């Protein structure tokens, strides 16, 4: 059994408990009554000011590193991310391995005016309705965890609800599946789901397979501005960053630094292309 399989088994158990407590029809009613979602596709792809978009993550722990930060006030952390220029706030809601919750999502949604990503392991449409009911504008769809039919179905539901999805890939085959499903935002996660090892070179290998007009997100492996610059130079429109922010004493300044690093990398790439 892979790490992903183990996580998903726990996700399904926890989902069954929530479904027993709150039927899908009740979740749907709340979702449909919620304010209209914000446009994360535009936020991530606009490249405001020529700078890379940063998806800043509220993340307490991870399977690879264990405890990362004691985040007593996720709303305050998210507000500092917004102040630093983040384009989207990502909130981990998986509890067993990441220490997250839907309560964190509620707190962040109430605190910021940016699009909010519910980052979890989506295996059932209930979770998409649930995300919308709690104010999320974006969900994560991991290609490795879904059949092609489920991927297309879940994408269609997010669009029906006015939401966006980051479709996460790890291999060339998964990128091709995401492109075939007409994903508008494709993430390349450089963490191996079987070993949890990081290989930053994977991003450059896969990014060129993603079709023009798609927002490309680099996921995992960001330690500093140099990593951000490398991703930007290889075609990233956005980076998703958790650990490097929650462990930093000034996450707002770090986001600004990352955005400037991306802008410099883009400028250098453009100058090289013109020469």
Of the residues 168, 174, 234, 252, only one is catalytic, namely 168
Please choose, from the candidates 73, 77, 121, 72, the residue with its C-alpha nearest in 3D space to the C-alpha of residue 96.
Answer: 121
CA distance 64 to 83: 29
Q: CA triplet 211, 44, 195: central angle to 5 degrees?
A: 70
Of the residues 119, 130, 174, 234, only one is catalytic, namely 119
CA distance 24 to 34: 15
**119 a catalytic residue:** yes
Q: Which residue has the tokens 């090892």?
A: 197
CB 223 within 8 A of CB 244: yes
**59 a catalytic residue:** yes
Of the residues 219, 234, 243, 252, only one is catalytic, namely 219
**82 a catalytic residue:** no
Please choose, from the candidates 64, 23, 79, the residue with its C-alpha nearest in 3D space to the C-alpha of residue 198.
Answer: 64
Of the residues 43, 51, 80, 220, only one is catalytic, namely 220
Please choose, from the candidates 44, 36, 25, 15, the residue with its C-alpha nearest in 3D space to the C-alpha of residue 160.
Answer: 36
**168 a catalytic residue:** yes
As a 3-state breakdown, the chain gives helix, strand, coil percent values, each rounded to 5, of 50, 15, 35
CA distance 154 to 141: 8
Of the residues 57, 82, 130, 174, only one is catalytic, namely 57
CB 170 within 8 A of CB 192: yes
Of the residues 43, 51, 59, 62, only one is catalytic, namely 59
**194 a catalytic residue:** no
CA distance 91 to 77: 11
Of the residues 43, 164, 189, 234, only one is catalytic, namely 189
Q: Which residues are part of the catalytic machinery?
A: 57, 59, 119, 168, 189, 219-220
């Amino acid at each position: 059994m892979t790490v992903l399989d183990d996580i998903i088994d726990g996700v399904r158990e926890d989902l069954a408990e929530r479904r027993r407590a709150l039927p899908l029809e009740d979740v749907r009613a709340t979702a449909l009554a919620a304010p209209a979602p914000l446009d994360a596709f535009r936020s991530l792809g606009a490249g405001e000011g020529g700078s890379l978009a940063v998806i800043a993550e509220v993340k307490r722990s991870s399977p690879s590193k264990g405890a990362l930060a004691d985040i007593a006030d996720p709303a305050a952390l998210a507000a500092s991310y917004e102040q630093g220029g983040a384009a989207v706030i990502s909130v981990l809601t998986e509890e067993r391995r990441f220490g997250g919750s839907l309560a964190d999502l509620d707190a962040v949604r109430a605190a910021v005016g940016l699009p909010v990503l519910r980052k979890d392991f989506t295996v059932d449409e209930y979770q998409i309705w649930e995300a919308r009911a709690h104010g999320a504008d974006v969900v994560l769809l991991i290609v490795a965890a879904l059949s092609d039919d489920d991927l297309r179905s879940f994408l269609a539901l997010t669009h029906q609800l006015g939401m966006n999805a980051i479709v996460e890939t790890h291999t060339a085959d998964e990128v091709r599946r995401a492109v075939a499903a007409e994903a508008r935002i494709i993430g390349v996660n450089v963490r191996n789901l079987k070993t949890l090892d990081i290989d930053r070179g994977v991003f450059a290998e896969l990014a060129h397979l993603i079709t023009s007009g798609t927002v490309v997100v680099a996921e995992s492996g960001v330690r500093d501005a140099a990593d951000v610059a490398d991703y930007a130079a290889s075609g990233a429109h956005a980076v998703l960053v958790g650990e490097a922010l929650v462990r930093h004493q000034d996450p707002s300044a770090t986001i600004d630094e990352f955005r400037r690093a991306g802008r410099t990398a883009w400028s250098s790439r453009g100058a090289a292309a013109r020469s």
